[in-house]
Structure 1
């Protein structure tokens, strides 16, 4: 198995691009090698199986979509200056949407993996573990920033944002009643109590 972490990350980035463009059925070692611009056979040296590649791609997507250290520092400074607030919750949700819009391929690839997980028990277990860990980290951030509401508030925001993201990435012209920023404002107003 390959040991070069930069090469592994490049292969995972390539796998994400292939998933977003061609779907799970199009994800082959050869397609990843071609997308990454590396010799044929490289991906198979880094991943034990296609299932291994799919599972690691799922974990890598969450790294790509995570808040940057700068964003976390900015949120921490705002929290230190003003304390918990609806406004902070709204800014955090808008930052999430900006990250996903900037890396649409990552979230589309995640949607492909979720669909493929319905057919592959091994991937389902791996992806479930990844999603649970990501959700636990998000809920911890909600607590760390003492955002108004209860854990249920955070859960409802997660489900609402998931639906909004899927709409915007897959059929953005289907429901255009409110711009995304106004949807986020409404979600926070309706779900997050005053601090």
Structure 2
């Protein structure tokens, strides 16, 4: 892995693990295990560091195929896939998703950052619509957007609530939540 990517991945870890205020060059250096000043040499300003994190998120979205390339075989497969996305975002992918959420907060005050995030969102919405089509549902852009936005909102809600606090939105039962969402948007 290149040093640049090591630093960008470390910045994602800092941002997702400690929040936006903790994102400093020194914190990134420490997380990457490199000498102090290394991150500043690559990304001279905090805005450059934020831009590097956003670019890395976009690259990782494209590389990893955050959404599977093969479409679901039907409604049941789509429900399982969406439940899996929620579990990934709140489990192994938690730090990455939290970093992405922190970037959205920064983008509210830095329009240039919002442009990078908009590219990720556009790709995400298109991929989610394609998955719904592949499942054989009666897809419209509006229906696909409702499902995508509901999944995004569920992720934010799940990340914000401690596991031991009951969730009033029905997210305590991810399978039931996803099935209910699909039933509302795509009645049988």
Instruction: Give TM class, smaller chain.
Output: 0.7 to 0.9
Residue 120 of structure 1 pairs with residue 120 of structure 2:
no
5+ residue gaps, structure 1: 80-84
Q: Write the distance in 1 (CA, Å) between the matches of 2:85 and 2:125.
A: 14
Structure 1 pair 192–7 and aligned structure 2 pair: CA distance change class (3 A): farther
5+ residue gaps, structure 2: none
Q: Which residue, out of 6, 23, 28, partners 2:24?
A: 28
Task: Report the counterpart of residue 160 of structure 2 in structure 1.
Answer: 170
CA contact (8 A) 1:62 1:134 kept: no
Q: Which residue, out of 2, 9, 12, partners 1:13?
A: 9
Structure 1 pair 171–91 and aligned structure 2 pair: CA distance change class (3 A): same
Task: Report the counterpart of residue 91 of structure 1 in structure 2.
Answer: 80
Q: Which residue, out of 64, 68, 72, partners 1:72?
A: 68
Q: Write the distance in 2 (CA, Å) between the matches of 1:152 and 1:88.
A: 21
Q: Write the distance in 1 (CA, Å) between the matches of 2:48 and 2:131.
A: 29
Task: Report the counterpart of residue 130 of structure 1 in structure 2.
Answer: 120
Q: Which residue, out of 94, 98, 111, partners 1:108?
A: 98
Task: Report the counterpart of residue 37 of structure 2 in structure 1.
Answer: 41
Q: 1:102 aligns to what SS in structure 2?
A: coil
Q: Write the distance in 2 (CA, Å) between the matches of 1:125 and 1:67.
A: 19
CA contact (8 A) 1:65 1:103 kept: no
User: How much does 1:125 deviate?
Assistant: 2.6
Task: Report the counterpart of residue 192 of structure 1 in structure 2.
Answer: 186
Q: Write the distance in 1 (CA, Å) between the matches of 2:63 and 2:156.
A: 19
User: How much does 1:63 deviate?
Assistant: 5.0
Question: Which is helix-richer, 1 or 2?
Answer: 1
Structure 1 pair 6–181 and aligned structure 2 pair: CA distance change class (3 A): farther
CA contact (8 A) 2:14 2:22 kept: yes
Structure 1 pair 180–107 and aligned structure 2 pair: CA distance change class (3 A): same
Give the alignment's Cα RMSD to 1 decimal.
Answer: 2.7
TM-score, normalization by structure 1: 0.78
User: How much does 1:133 deviate?
Assistant: 3.3
